[in-house]
Amino acid sequence: MQSEADIAEFLSLLNDAREHVSYFKELGVEGAAKLAQNTSPEPQSQPISRSETSTTTVVISAEPAVPSSTSGGLFDDFNPPPIKIQRSSETFEEIWADIGNCTRCPLYERRTHIVHTDGNRNARLMFVGEAPGADEDAQARPFVGRAGQLLTKIIEAIGFKREEVLIGNVNRCRPPGNRPPTPEEALMCKPFLLREIAAVQPEVIVVLGNTAMRNLLDIKQGITKVRGQFQDYHGVKVMPTFHPAYLLRDPSKKKETWEDLKKVRDYLDATRK
């Protein structure tokens, strides 16, 4: 049986905890963010600059913490708030102007065109691949070759038209021999993709294949283990699935891809306003 001293100490700790909770609530988002900066050795997100000399950033914000009402635990009020990417007021033209005649990585040496993101800039749904192929490099549009034709059929199968969605790649220049872009090459291009995502804020992003998935989500697992499971990118739902080019090589994976895209379709149908 607990002694009166133990009980008194517990009640004192409980009262202190409640006071801390009240304090954090009064701090609000701005105060909590400052507190995190002062106490955390590593920031959770880094500014994404327009170029080496630009100051434009994609802002990641923490929403006010809402006390949990499900588990009733003593420290439920300390659950971290969800982190969401704020909508940017940038236009694609402004982002592309920053890209310019890009020479940031060696891929520029053999490209014909820079292949920018294409489609509806108010899209609810976005598709992201790894890099342009030969047809895309020639036409300066993403996903126009055989893999792109298959992607168009997939988009139509879930009830959308190609012009209703947004389609892009992690890299905008074609790697030699259609090889995957290296981590260094992807690092040069990724900030511009993130700025486009911040400008559009699609409800769902479908990442096509390992390279796109790993670059956007910063995870090490392979596509076969993660596909079909919604992931989170700062408040945006992300569905990893197989790249259409892989489906052309292995048509047996089309069934799994269809299951993944049906989940995307059902989610968008359920959240349609």
Query: 236 φ, ψ to 5°?
Result: -100, 130
- Clarify whether residues 229 and 166 are in a common domain: yes
- Clarify whether residues 67 and 110 are in a common domain: no
pTM (two decimals):
0.73
Domain-ending residue, one of 85, 120, 155: 85
Summarize pLDDT for 19-28 with one digit per residue, the tens.
545 444 444 4
- Clarify whether residues 71 and 124 are in a common domain: no
Q: Residue 85: which pLDDT band, with cuts at 50, 70 and 90?
A: confident
- Clarify whether residues 120 and 246 are in a common domain: yes
pLDDT, residue 52, reads 43
Q: What is the rounded distance in angstroms from the CA atom of residue 236 to the CA atom of residue 205?
A: 7
**CA dihedral sign of residues 81, 239, 265, 259:** negative
Q: Determine the structural domain holding residue 64 and report its residue range.
A: 4-85
Q: How many domains does the chain have?
A: 2
- Clarify whether residues 51 and 183 are in a common domain: no
- Clarify whether residues 251 and 147 are in a common domain: yes
Summarize pLDDT for 93-134 with one digit per residue, the tens.
999 999 999 999 999 999 999 999 999 999 999 999 999 999
**Of 141, 129, 150, 143, nearest to 247 (Cα)?**
150
- Clarify whether residues 12 and 120 are in a common domain: no
- Clarify whether residues 75 and 109 are in a common domain: no
- Clarify whether residues 69 and 9 are in a common domain: yes
Q: What is the rounded distance in angstroms from the CA atom of residue 138 to the CA atom of residue 150?
A: 19
pLDDT, residue 200, reads 96
- Clarify whether residues 97 and 217 are in a common domain: yes
pLDDT, residue 241, reads 98
Domain-ending residue, one of 37, 69, 85: 85
Which residues neighbour 119 within 8 Å (Cβ) at sequence distance 6 or greater? 126, 162, 163, 164, 165, 166, 167
Q: Which amino acid is at 59?
A: V
Summarize pLDDT for 44-72 with one digit per residue, the tens.
444 444 444 344 455 555 444 344 344 44
Domain-ending residue, one of 68, 85, 102: 85
- Clarify whether residues 43 and 147 are in a common domain: no
